[in-house]
């Protein structure tokens, strides 16, 4: 019977592998429910079953594509709203979320991931893996994954219960109290530091760029440390503005950057234009002839970061098989293949993008005009937002009232078309058929190198001010898309504003803005009034534009910087303490 069960398990694992395709590492089946003696087989010298269990644990990592009730998390920020007025993700921008209505409630999912890791660590030593170093690496990856799951909990709820290596069973009474925020930070740091020596080094010889792409490497652990310490140093969690916390955050990012500089790691800002998303012909109306080539190159370099299967900028992806879901869920609605247009960027986000000359649109001499609002702008605008007149598939987008992509017009739709006059462009490949979908690369970037440069610039500026290294990091990101360098002579506050601007436009829709406005403690200002969109009116062959209201916002600073502990946890755990004012 035991041999029969092993054979059955083998077929289950093989079915998962073949169903997912050879380029997908994450196994989606609930292998933690399999018989442990079969998964952690003392005769499995290759560790096949144990590795499949570990791969399954990767499925608990955050996948940012339309994961919150079919919407992007950023549709709950000031950067976007959902096309449906009933979509719950906007509870985060209109203040309607609570202990029961919590659209991004990942409490159970992250603790389930932690349990998978604990099961793995408790049983892996009985598997006689022959290949030198593999068992150590598997353990290190598991601990790094557990650190990530704890971070995902920490950024939502603040201090949470730490359970160590304990594997709780169904009938166990789990009444653990919450650890404080700093205890949680220290635990995550200790796990990462312990795991790093045995993790893969992300270089060309380690297989990182080929068969091991998508695994938790030493670089990914350093990236998590960079983000963790940046959050810990930020105003939400550093009320006394302890400069040593900013210094620690800067050093964590700098350590990763130094590993790149010295050639230990292969990371860098991608400048590939392998996929020609746009040409000078279909973008000729968006930039002057003299700068059109540079403009198009900037757009293509930015979009290629997200459309290629592998590039050296991606430190840790959520690795998936090729899919059509991102285009189906988010592209404009008026094409034959009937995209859903679920994500609607706001005018607030669009206005954040500078002109191609590096000036804010409100700045004197910028050349910006509402008559031609998308002309000669930062190339990342066209790589992030689908706006009226931007080429997609086989024609220009039409989001003026009555256009193919906004047939009902401003104020007349509660779903099924844009409520702001904009759609998402980022992450999508539009070089395919207008009538049917073709599977594309859609690996969500959990960590990428541009973030590390931004993390370092922010922390270094707060620790010592706008020194040459701060300028270098920000200017490298701008140069990749052919934007001019920052002006010299900025003071600390001016540089802080520039860094926050750069982070917003570079990292839009990568689940950064949602947390940034909380850790900076500016959500109470950002969500104080109304979000806006644009209304286009076609007169003959000319479209005239006006800025219009799109959605109200509300944020109660006394309680909403952290999520409320879910009702189920409060009801089942007598030692659980609710977050303030919930």
Domains of the chain: 213-270+308-320+444-505 (1.25.40.900)
Model confidence at 14, pLDDT cuts 50, 70, 90, reads very low
pTM value surpassing 0.85: yes
- Reduced DSSP (H G I as helix, E B as strand, rest coil) percent helix, strand, coil of the chain, to 5: 40, 10, 50
What whole-number percentage of the chain has pLDDT above 70?
94
Torsion sign across C-alpha atoms 296, 302, 306, 312: positive
**Tokens at residue 243, please?**
């400069």
Which pLDDT score is estimated for 7?
A: 40
Per DSSP, what are the bridge partners of residue 395? 392
Buried b (16+ CB within 10 A) or exposed e, 232-266: bbbebbbeeeeeebbbbbbbbbbebbebbeeeebb
* Residue 204: band (very low, low, confident or very high) from pLDDT cuts 50, 70, 90: confident
pLDDT value for 37: 82
What is the C-alpha to C-alpha distance for residues 145 and 135, in angstroms, rounded to an integer?
A: 15
> DSSP characters for 81-134?
EESSTT-GGGHHHHT---SS--TT--HHHHHHHHHHHHHHHHHGGGS---STTH
Q: What is the mean pLDDT of the chain?
A: 93
- Does position 33 have pLDDT exceeding 60, yes or no? no
pLDDT of 6 > 60? The answer is no
As a whole number, mean pLDDT of residues 508-512 equals 98
Residue range 131-139: mean pLDDT, rounded: 95
Ramachandran bin of 270, using left for φ above 0, alpha for ψ from -120 to 50, beta for the remaining angles: beta
Please, which pLDDT band fits residue 432 given cuts at 50, 70 and 90?
confident
Q: At what angle do helices 181-195 and 218-233 cross, to 10 degrees?
A: 160
- Does 366 have pLDDT greater than 90? yes
Whole-angstrom distance, CA of residue 321 vs CA of residue 224: 24
> Is residue 322 scored above 90 in pLDDT?
yes
Structure confidence at residue 380 as a pLDDT band (50, 70, 90): very high
pLDDT band at 309 (very low <50, low <70, confident <90, very high): confident
pLDDT at 21: 37
pLDDT interval class at 93 (50, 70, 90): very high
pLDDT of residue 29: 54
Kindly state the average pLDDT of the residues 199-203.
Answer: 94
Q: What average pLDDT does range 339-368 have in this prediction? A: 97
């Amino acid at each position: 019977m035991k041999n029969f069960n092993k054979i059955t398990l083998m077929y289950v694992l093989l079915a998962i592998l073949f169903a997912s395709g050879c380029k997908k590492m994450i196994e989606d089946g609930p292998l933690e429910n399999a018989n442990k003696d079969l998964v952690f087989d003392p005769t499995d010298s290759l560790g096949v079953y144990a590795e499949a269990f570990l791969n399954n644990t990767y499925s608990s990592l955050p996948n940012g594509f339309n994961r919150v009730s079919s919407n992007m998390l950023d549709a709950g920020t000031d950067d976007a709203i959902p096309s449906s007025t009933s979509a719950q993700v906007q509870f985060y921008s209109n203040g309607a979320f609570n202990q029961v209505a919590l659209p991004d409630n990942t409490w159970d999912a992250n603790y389930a991931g932690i349990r998978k890791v604990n099961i793995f660590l408790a049983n892996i030593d009985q598997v006689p893996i022959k290949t030198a170093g593999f068992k150590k690496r598997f353990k290190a990856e598991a601990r790094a994954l557990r650190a990530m799951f704890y971070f995902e909990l920490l950024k939502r709820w603040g201090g949470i219960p730490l359970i160590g290596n304990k594997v709780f069973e169904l009938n166990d009474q789990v009444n653990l109290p919450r650890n404080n925020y700093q205890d949680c930070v220290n635990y995550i740091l200790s796990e990462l530091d312990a795991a790093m020596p045995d993790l893969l080094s992300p270089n060309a010889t380690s297989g990182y760029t080929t068969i091991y792409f998508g695994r938790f490497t030493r670089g990914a652990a350093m990236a998590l440390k960079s983000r963790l310490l940046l959050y810990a140093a930020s105003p939400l969690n550093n009320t006394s503005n302890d400069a040593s916390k900013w210094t620690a955050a800067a050093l964590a990012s700098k350590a990763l950057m130094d590993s790149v500089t010295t050639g230990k790691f292969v990371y860098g800002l991608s400048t590939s234009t392998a996929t020609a998303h746009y040409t000078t012909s279909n973008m000729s109306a968006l930039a002057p002839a003299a700068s059109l080539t540079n403009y198009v190159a900037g757009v293509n370099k930015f979009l290629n970061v997200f459309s290629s299967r592998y590039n050296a900028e991606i430190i840790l992806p959520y690795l998936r098989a090729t899919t059509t879901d991102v285009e189906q869920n988010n592209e404009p609605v008026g094409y034959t293949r009937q995209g859903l247009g679920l994500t609607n960027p706001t005018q607030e986000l669009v206005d954040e993008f500078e002109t191609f000359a590096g000036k804010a649109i409100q700045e004197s001499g910028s050349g910006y005009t509402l008559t031609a609002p998308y002309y000669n702008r930062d190339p990342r605008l066209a790589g992030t937002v689908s706006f009226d007149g931007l080429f997609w598939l086989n024609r220009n987008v039409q989001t003026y009232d009555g256009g193919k992509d906004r047939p009902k017009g401003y104020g007349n739709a509660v779903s099924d078309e844009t409520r702001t006059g904009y759609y998402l462009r980022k992450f999508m490949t539009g070089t395919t058929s207008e009538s049917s979908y073709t599977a594309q690369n859609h690996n969500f970037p959990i960590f990428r190198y541009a973030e590390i440069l931004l993390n370092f610039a922010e922390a270094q500026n707060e620790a010592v001010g706008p020194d040459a290294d701060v300028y270098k990091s920000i200017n490298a990101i701008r140069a990749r898309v052919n934007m001019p360098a920052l002006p010299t002579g900025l003071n600390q506050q001016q540089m802080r504003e520039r860094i926050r601007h750069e982070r917003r436009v570079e990292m839009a829709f990568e689940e950064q803005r949602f947390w940034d406005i909380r850790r900076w403690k500016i959500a109470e200002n950002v969500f104080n009034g109304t979000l806006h969109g644009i209304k286009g009116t076609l007169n003959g062959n000319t479209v005239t534009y006006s800025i219009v209201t799109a959605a109200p916002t509300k944020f109660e600073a006394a309680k909403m910087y952290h999520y409320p502990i879910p009702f189920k946890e409060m009801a089942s755990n007598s030692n659980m303490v609710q977050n303030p004012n919930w």
